[in-house]
Amino acid sequence: MPEIFDRALVLIENSIAELLASLPSVAFALIVFYIFYRASKWARRLAKGVMERTNRTDNVQLIISRFAAWGVILLGFLFAVTIALPGFDASQLVSILGISSVAIGFAFNDILQNFLAGILILLTDPFKIGDQIVYENYEGTVEDIQIRATVVRTYDNRQIVIPNGELFTNSVTVNTAYKMRRSQYDVGIGYSDDIAAAQQLCLDVMREIDGVLDYPAPDTIMTEMGDSAVVFRVRWWTDPRQANVLRIQDQVLRTIKNRLTENGFDIPFPIRTVYMHQQEVA
């Protein structure tokens, strides 16, 4: 028994001695990695500056600057590991972990898919940071396009994280892709009212509302002769951002309703006639 304890003590002492001997190398490796980490921020700024001078899009600037930073960090990691573990070999590391390339592919399939989709989104530029998009039941402003997912801030101030693979392979509505956006609403008046006068009144209202664009000009079109109303559609163009669209829509519709009422136009509502039949009991 004493011999077992002696061997165990010698093993512990040797391990401690090896650890103490490797501390300078580990400390130096950490310092090297920290230097490369700091350098990655400089590389990101440098790459972004070069892309800005060449008039690249914001998304291209983002992906190139990120690749530059990741490349410097990866290089720093390899240098640090080589310093801390002189016999380090990446292939040996994979063998030690017991993970084959096929297993890695299966294990990280979704991650790789989202990563590649993120790169393609940044390169093809279907939307960019700051755009307002609609995806399925989610709508909001794109705050960031990350490696795995895109971060969207909803209009009620919630954060939605959507995997890039879903955004790349499914339909996405980009509300701010163009400089203007059209809104429309159906207005009903009575059959005895002057349709042309009502349409002209609505045109005058839309033209006087601040925020409604002069070009394309607002217009009205006849759409329906309903059961209880003659219906025409009013259409106007605004800045595409959601806050402006809703604010101007509120002003247009409130003013149209009030102006029609002031000028004696009838704004009918559906009327249903219900007949009550009483059955005589013999």
190 and 161 share one domain = no
Task: Give the integer Cα–Cα distance in Å for 243 and 126.
Answer: 22
pLDDT at 246: 95
Rg of the chain in Å (alpha carbons): 34
pLDDT score for 108: 59
Is 273 within the bounds of a domain?
Answer: no
pLDDT of the residue at 177: 92
Per-block mean pLDDT, blocks of 10 residues, the chain (282 long): 57 55 68 81 78 66 74 78 65 53 57 82 86 94 89 95 92 94 94 92 95 95 89 96 95 95 83 62 54
221-226 long-range Cβ contacts below 8 angstroms, 24+ apart? 222/195, 223/186, 224/186, 226/188
The answer to whether residues 14 and 77 belong to one domain is yes
Q: Can you read off the two tokens belonging to residue 208?
A: 């006087």
Look at residue 116 and tell me if it is in a domain.
no
Domain range for residue 18? 2-88
Are 168 and 186 in the same domain? no
CATH number at 157 reads 2.30.30.60
Sheet strand arrangement including 219-225: 181-189, 230-238, 219-225
Task: Please indicate, yes or no, if residue 196 is contained in any of the structural domains.
Answer: yes
In a domain, 160, yes or no: yes
**Are both 81 and 148 inside the same structural domain?**
no
